[in-house]
Amino acid sequence: MAIGRFFTRSSKLPTHIIIGSLPLLALTACMGADSNIVSASGPQPETSQADGVIRDTSNTASASASDDFTVADDTNVALADFFEDVDAANLAASPLGKAFRGIRDEDYGKWNDPSEAQELADFQRGQTALANMRKRFDQAQLSPSNQLSYRLFEYQMERSKNAFAFRDNDYIFDQMNGAQAQLPAFLINIHRVANVSDAQAYISRLQGIEPLMDQLIATSAKRANNGVIVPDWVFPYVISDARNITSGAPFDDGDDSALFADLKAKIGKLEIAQAKKDQLIAEGRTALLTSMAPAYKKLIAEMERQQAMGVEGDGIWRFPNGKEYYAERLQNYTTTNLTADEIHQIGLDNVARIHGEMRKIMAQVGFKGSLQDFFKKLRTSDEFFYDSREAYLNDANAKIAAMEKALPKFFNTLPKAALTVKPVEAFREKSAGKAFYQRPAPDGSRPGTYYVNLYNLKDMSKTELEALAYHEGLPGHHLQLAIQTELGNLPPFRRFGGVTAYSEGWGLYSEELGKDMGFYTDPYSDFGRLGMELWRACRLVVDTGIHDKRWSREEAIAYLTENTPNPDGDIRKAIERYVVFPGQATAYMIGKLKIKELRARAQDRLGGQFTYGDFHDIILRSGPVPLTIMEERVDRWIADNEK
């Protein structure tokens, strides 16, 4: 899973998207500008690029599919300038957006404004930009690449408009994307300290947490009073996060808290006088005690108040406009017009298919018994789990290293950014998801990071390690998102934005691609791959079950327990994620099925002319697009290269 939402009140937008001033954590405004993509064959010759597709002098399939253009004419130059201006206006309203991209200026010590007035201004800025684009530019007069950018900007603003209607349905505090954990995570993982000014900005952000949290608490209270309230089982997670963050020095006599330790470590690395270091640390200590501590005390009190209110049901069907809201979420995340019933049935059909493939592996390893018996063995036998975090991390790094060596045979384009694997920080590991990815900074100051949650090793099966590493790392999210970062010939909203069905569809596709590349030599690991795919098929069933068919959390847990091999803790955490993040989990399988369908079509029609590298270029070098546009591009590439 690529990280989705931040503490924004406009997180109705698709995963990875930044609209207006509100970035979504780690997959938003955190990329930058170099257009020189590194290819598997080494540096590229002089090229004409469009939509990120390499075009060189060789007669390859990918070359003939590219949109041959330059931006020499005034109209195309003007559109490029227009998109840069839109991006600059968005960044001017978003201190966090600038920080994700590595920009450190006068706003570096500020948080985003979460007020309703700012939210409306952000929305209106995007809609005004759309109207201006339509007024100023004739789409027919643009280059092919800019025609696509025009369409994608329209699509993005339409998503923004549809989501804005449901802006008050978002949870401010939950166990997946709540502000209580995302605020300190931002400071620890994004806020760099290279000099005294950066350290002062860190302290300024600490000082700003109380007024920011006051606004967020007030918004959460208002929504809860209007019926938009998390189920009662969510509150202990949020309260636990809040207490973890304010435990340890300087809040009590324990070891340094996560934020105090981070501040000390960053200041300690500065080449300044010790007296100045001591002064900065003392100021940070004061900010933690006078801003962070009271803010989180008020948060805990409000969460306890809301918990006492109690609600019936887990899904968003219980909201006043829940049915319409869920339909918008499904359309947003899948980029299709599939209904909840249709998605539910696609899930059931694929669960049956994958169960059949699993039974073949059961026979291969000589297991006697039912599929559910095999699931129980995988769920409960110690041989399928690690004894230490270090062992898990070592194996994950080894799988990624082996995959990296094999990439040139299947990819023409490789990312330049490095990838690192890290455990989720202690202060949020109890409530965080099992794994997620944070894309690299555009200036190279931060690598792409695959976070793995090792809070409970019994939730992290050995059988799934390989597929999970491919999904989050290579050739999954890191490869796709780092390449997107480096497509400097595209406008900022395409380099820095995203489409969930595209990115998560690619992540799931990457898991099975590992099989095509010759990996998963251990049948249990191959079973784990199928288990991961099964998991995404089941998501279609349980997400629609919870939010459309009014399943309870317990009913959804029972379905996964019966139909998947995953550990109990993994199952419970997943269902709790789907409850507070409606619709998002449906994008994975819908996107993957489309990519597989398009690849099979290309292999059938191109025969011996088909290469994985050329096909992957067509998918990756456009940047994220809706599935309908992805299909158009692949069909055009096929038609251009058929004999």
Rounded CA separation 550/225 (Å): 22
Say if residues 233 and 575 touch (Cβ distance below 8 Å).
Answer: no
CA distances from 446 to 41, 360, 379 (A): 25, 43, 36
Q: Which residues contact 633 (CB under 8 A, 6 or more apart)?
A: 51, 65, 618, 622, 625
Rounded CA separation 7/417 (Å): 27
Rounded CA separation 263/571 (Å): 36
CA proximity to 466, closest of 425, 536, 516, 524: 524
Helix, coil or strand: residue 201: helix
CA distances from 457 to 310, 389, 430, 452, 465 (A): 33, 7, 12, 11, 12
Q: How is residue 142 written in tokens?
A: 């643009």
113: amino acid identity, one letter: D
One DSSP character per residue, 479-510 reads HHHHHHHT-TTS-HHHHH---HHHHHHHHHHH
Q: How is residue 604 written in tokens?
A: 């059938």
Rounded CA separation 505/148 (Å): 21
CB atoms within 10 A of CB 498: 27
Helix, coil or strand: residue 574: helix
Entry pTM? 0.86
Q: How far is CA 330 from the centre of its chain?
A: 16
Q: What is the mean pLDDT of each run of 10 residues along the chain (643 residues)?
A: 39 31 32 25 28 34 36 83 97 96 95 97 98 97 96 97 96 93 95 98 98 98 96 95 96 96 98 98 98 98 95 93 97 98 98 98 97 96 97 98 98 97 91 89 89 95 97 98 93 94 98 98 98 98 98 97 92 94 97 98 97 98 97 97 85
Helix, coil or strand: residue 452: strand
Where b means 16+ CB within 10 Å and e means fewer, 48-68 reads ebbbbbbbeeeebbbbebbbe
Q: Which residues pair with 448 in a beta bridge?
A: 419
Helix, coil or strand: residue 378: helix
256: amino acid identity, one letter: D
**According to the model, what pLDDT value does residue 1 have?**
52
Tell me, what DSSP letter sits at residue 623? -
Say if residues 502 and 589 touch (Cβ distance below 8 Å).
Answer: no
CB atoms within 10 A of CB 208: 18
Rounded CA separation 136/222 (Å): 41
CA proximity to 485, closest of 88, 290, 477: 477
**According to the model, what pLDDT value does residue 332 have?**
97
Q: Which residues contact 331 (CB under 8 A, 6 or more apart)?
A: 162, 337
CB atoms within 10 A of CB 74: 8
Whether the bond into 43 is cis, omega within 30 of 0: no
Say if residues 551 and 340 touch (Cβ distance below 8 Å).
Answer: no
Q: How is residue 103 written in tokens?
A: 């920009």
Q: What are the extents of the domains in the chain?
A: 179-318
Q: What HEC string does 90-136 produce?
A: HHHCCHHHHHHCCCCCCCCCCCCCCCHHHHHHHHHHHHHHHHHHHHH
One DSSP character per residue, 321-373 reads THHHHHHHHHHHHHSS---HHHHHHHHHHHHHHHHHHHHHHHHHTT--S-HHH
Say if residues 486 and 34 touch (Cβ distance below 8 Å).
Answer: yes
CA end-to-end span of the chain, whole Å? 39
Q: How is residue 492 written in tokens?
A: 């900022």
**According to the model, what pLDDT value does residue 454 have?**
97
Q: How is residue 400 written in tokens?
A: 């990624």
